[in-house]
Structure formats: structure tokens, C-alpha cells
């Protein structure tokens, strides 16, 4: 954790935005390692795929479209900002004195619903990974909401910079184009990525369907699946990758995933249960939960993958 703090300070000081973005990638990886140490394997998985993968690529895309150097003369750094930050930090540290110590099993957070999930989910849901059963079943409403947020954010990106007439800059395109040319002619990159991409996609599918038993699920699978395509687009050609998955298809899947999720909820209502109560989907409740979770996770995976691909292509196409 001390390592993370050091990176944080480095980010604050550096003016070269390219280095900053790279550091945030390392920062995310460190965070992922930390999550593993703290037993949150699902979270670590997501952080490693998202933080170190997709968001770094998006940040770099933005840098290519704008500028990679922060203005050098220091206007900011007013002492008041520092004072404010230090005072807030001291107040927060004062607040932590009332917190239960690290790892305390009697802490308030472990007394409420969590024991119920841990004891009952084995029988009620029949899924080994408690995180998955809480995510998709007990807290299905929350997750549906999250999927809608992703959906909305992707639509927002498409609306803001996705219009075809937009993107008339020339000067920045050159540098990016040269970079991509050098990547495209690099034999090692081409061969290795060609070998790796099928496995990345296969791994994404494994993560998708194995989420019931081990760490994994729709969110991680969607991100990994998207990163396979993004790798292809980075090393080969964005237009080739785009022709593989046209914009129409990503938009369709984007909506289809959300629709599948909400549709499962409506279907369980039609069959006589509550919204997103999967027990009625099959003859016995546990089987119904299984079907429900699989379908819902698939919906999540579809939306997340489509959203990430759509967002990436929207950024990437600006340079063309």
C-alpha cells in the first residue's frame, strides 16, 4: 500500500501526461494485487482487466487526440489547496480512530446481511461463488442499475464524440498513424498477438460461464472479451477490426444485454415471482436460480463488452 501512495504522489508531481497514464496503469495493477491479498479475488480480476487494460488504452487515446504535455508554468499549487487537503485528511484520520481494527470479525459490517449470504446462498442459490450469487440474485436490482449506468455512459460517449462529421483534426493524427505503422510492421507483435487473441477470447468465455464456481462473471468477461478486440485493433488495423464488428452490431448488443437482463426479470414476473426472482424460472428453485444467474450474467457480459468496444472505437476513429 505504501507503494500505491508513492505512485499517487508521483502522479501528482509529473507533468508529462503520458507518464502519468502509464503510472495509473501500474497503480491499478498494484491495487489488484492488494485486492488479492485482501481476499477479493473477483474485484482483483476486474481491476486488473479494467484499470490496467481498458482505461489505460482510453486515456492514451485521449492523449493522442489532445496533448500529452501538461502546461509547464505553475499557476495552480495554491497553498490553500494544500491546506484544505491536509485539514480534510486530518479530520478523516480522526474519524478512523473510531473504526474497528483491520480484520476484526466482530466489526459492524460483518453482522448484518453478510452472514446470511454466506450461510444460506449455498442452499438457496447453489452457486459456490458467493460474490456471484449476491451480485446476480440477492442484489440483482443494484446490478441491473449498474448495467444501465454503463449503457448510458456508452451512449453518452457515442453522442458526444461519435458523430461522423466530427473529427477534423489533422496535426495529431500523424503521430498516431506513425506509431501504428511501426506497430503494424513489427513481426513479433503481429505473431504474438495473433497467437494470443483466440486464447483471450476463449478465456473471456471461460470467465463468463465459470463465474458460478470460481472468480469471474459477466463484468470481467465482458472487459476481457473487449480487450481481445482492442488488442487486434491496436496492432492491426482499426478499420479491419471495425469491419469484423460493425458499429451496428455493437450498438445492438449494447441494448440487447440490458434487455436480456431486464427481460429475465420480467419473465420471472410473468411466471408468478417477483421482478428478478429467478426461483420460478425452472421446476425447482435452485435450478431456476442457476438459469437466471447464467442469463443475467450473459446479459451483463454482452453489454459490458459492447460498451467497451463501442467506446474504444469511438475514440479510435477520431484519429482517422
Partner 1 sequence: MEFIGLINYWIVIVLMMTGFYIVISHDNLIKKIVGLNIFQVSVFVFYITMAKVKGGTAPILADGITTYSNPLPHVLILTAIVVGVATTALGLALVVRIRDAYGTIEDDEIEKQEGES
Site for partner 1 in 121-140 (CB under 8 A): 121-122, 128-131, 134-135, 139
- 22, 29, 33, 55: which one contacts partner 1 (CB under 8 A)? 55
Sign of the alpha-carbon dihedral angle for 263, 124, 305, 228: negative
Q: In angstroms, rounded to a whole number, what is the distance separating the alpha carbons of residues 268 and 274?
A: 6
| Residue (95 or 272) nearer to partner 1, CB | 95
- 19, 88, 199, 246: which one contacts partner 1 (CB under 8 A)? 88
| Residue (35 or 278) nearer to partner 1, CB | 35
| Residue (47 or 277) nearer to partner 1, CB | 47
| Residue (80 or 272) nearer to partner 1, CB | 80
Regarding 268 and contact with partner 1 (CB under 8 A), the answer is: no
Smallest CA-to-CA distance from 297 within 232, 225, 193, 198 is with 225
CB of 290 to partner 1, least distance (A): 15
Residues 235-254 touching partner 1, rule: CB under 8 A, are none
Neighbours of 211 (CB within 10 A): 28
DSSP assignment string, 226-266: HHHHHHHHHHS-HHHHHHHS-HHHHHHHHHHHHHHHHHHHH
| Residue (119 or 184) nearer to partner 1, CB | 119
Regarding 164 and contact with partner 1 (CB under 8 A), the answer is: no
Residues 172-211 touching partner 1, rule: CB under 8 A, are none
Burial 55-69 (b: 16+ CB within 10 A, else e): bbbbbbbebbbeebe
SS3 45: helix
In contact, 304 and 261? CB cutoff 8 Å: no
CB of 135 to partner 1, least distance (A): 5
Stretch that binds partner 1, among 44-52, 236-244, 263-271, 290-298 (CB under 8 A): 44-52
- 204, 254, 264, 311: which one contacts partner 1 (CB under 8 A)? 311
- 193, 268, 279, 318: which one contacts partner 1 (CB under 8 A)? 318
| Cβ-based neighbours of 298, under 8 Å, separated by 6 or more | 208, 218, 257, 260
CB of 69 to partner 1, least distance (A): 9
Residues 62-81 touching partner 1, rule: CB under 8 A, are 62-63, 65-67, 70-71, 75-78, 81
| Cβ-based neighbours of 56, under 8 Å, separated by 6 or more | 21, 22, 24, 25, 28
| Residue (42 or 277) nearer to partner 1, CB | 42
Q: Which string of x and - marks every residue 3-42 that binds partner 1 (by CB under 8 A)?
A: -xx--xx-xx----x--xx--x--xx--x--xx--xxxxx
Q: Please tell me the count of residues contacting partner 1 according to CB under 8 A.
A: 104
- 241, 298, 314, 316: which one contacts partner 1 (CB under 8 A)? 314
Neighbours of 76 (CB within 10 A): 7
In terms of C-beta density within 10 A (0-12 exposed, 13-18 middle, 19 or more buried), how is residue 317 classed? middle
| Residue (140 or 191) nearer to partner 1, CB | 140
DSSP 16: B
Regarding 83 and contact with partner 1 (CB under 8 A), the answer is: no
CB of 236 to partner 1, least distance (A): 22
Q: Which three cell numbers stand for residue 37?
A: 491479498
Q: Which three cell numbers stand for residue 103?
A: 480484520
Neighbours of 82 (CB within 10 A): 10
Amino acid at each position: 500500500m505504501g507503494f500505491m501512495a508513492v505512485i499517487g504522489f508521483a502522479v501528482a508531481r509529473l507533468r508529462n501526461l503520458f507518464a502519468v497514464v502509464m503510472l495509473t496503469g501500474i497503480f491499478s495493477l498494484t491495487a489488484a494485487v492488494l485486492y488479492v491479498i485482501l481476499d477479493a479475488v473477483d474485484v482483483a480480476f476486474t481491476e486488473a482487466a479494467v484499470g490496467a487494460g481498458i482505461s489505460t488504452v482510453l486515456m492514451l487515446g485521449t492523449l493522442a487526440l489532445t496533448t500529452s504535455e501538461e502546461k509547464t508554468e505553475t499557476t495552480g499549487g495554491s497553498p490553500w489547496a494544500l491546506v484544505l487537503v491536509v485539514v480534510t485528511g486530518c479530520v478523516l484520520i480522526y474519524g478512523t480512530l473510531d473504526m474497528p481494527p483491520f480484520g476484526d470479525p466482530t466489526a459492524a459490517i460483518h453482522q448484518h446481511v453478510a452472514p446470511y449470504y454466506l450461510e444460506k446462498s449455498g442452499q438457496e442459490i447453489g452457486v459456490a461463488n458467493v460474490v456471484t450469487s449476491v451480485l446476480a440474485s440477492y442484489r440483482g436490482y443494484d446490478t441491473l442499475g449498474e448495467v444501465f449506468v454503463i449503457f448510458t455512459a456508452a451512449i453518452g460517449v457515442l453522442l458526444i464524440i461519435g458523430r461522423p462529421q466530427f473529427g477534423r483534426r489533422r496535426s495529431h493524427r500523424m503521430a498516431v498513424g506513425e506509431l501504428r505503422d511501426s506497430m503494424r510492421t513489427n513481426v513479433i507483435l503481429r505473431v504474438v498477438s495473433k497467437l494470443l487473441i483466440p486464447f483471450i477470447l476463449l478465456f473471456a468465455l471461460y470467465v463468463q460461464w465459470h463465474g458460478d464456481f470460481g472468480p469471474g462473471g459477466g463484468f470481467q468477461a465482458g472487459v476481457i472479451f473487449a480487450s481481445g478486440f482492442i488488442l487486434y485493433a491496436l496492432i492491426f488495423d482499426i478499420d479491419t477490426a471495425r469491419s469484423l464488428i460493425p458499429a451496428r452490431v455493437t450498438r445492438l448488443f449494447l441494448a440487447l444485454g440490458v434487455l436480456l437482463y431486464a427481460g429475465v426479470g420480467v419473465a420471472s414476473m410473468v411466471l408468478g415471482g417477483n421482478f428478478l426472482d429467478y426461483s420460478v424460472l425452472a421446476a425447482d428453485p435452485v435450478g431456476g436460480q442457476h438459469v437466471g444467474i447464467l442469463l443475467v450474467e450473459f446479459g451483463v457480459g454482452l453489454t459490458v463488452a459492447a460498451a467497451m468496444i463501442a467506446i474504444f472505437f469511438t475514440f479510435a476513429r477520431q484519429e482517422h
